[in-house]
Amino acid sequence: MYTDDSSIYTAAVHAGLISYAGGVVTVEIRPGQTSYNGNSRNGVNSKNYSGWSGSFVFVR
């Protein structure tokens, strides 16, 4: 889950759904969360983040 101000492209690379060359993904808008856990995946570093009002997830 990503904050709704995150770059969809960068988040999709982080999630392993597309490469740096790009691709097609589908997102679903979700309510915000009280916190977000960061990590490093696929050459992208995400950070821990406190509450935010909106989120998105990728759907297949």
Q: What is the pLDDT of residue 25?
A: 98
Q: What is the pLDDT of residue 10?
A: 98
Question: Residue 52 is encoded by which pair of tokens?
Answer: 């935010």
Smallest Cα–Cα separation from 19: which of 44, 53, 54? 44
CA 1 to mean position of chain CA atoms: 5
Give residue-wise pLDDT tens across range 2-51.
Answer: 999 999 999 999 999 999 999 999 999 999 999 999 999 999 999 999 99
Q: What is the pLDDT of residue 38?
A: 97
Q: What is the pLDDT of residue 60?
A: 84
Domains parsed from the chain with CATH numbers: 2-59 (2.170.130.20)
C-beta of residue 45 within 8 angstroms of C-beta of residue 18: no
Of the pLDDT bands very low, low, confident and very high (cuts 50, 70, 90), residue 1 is very high
What pTM, to 2 d.p., does this model score? 0.92
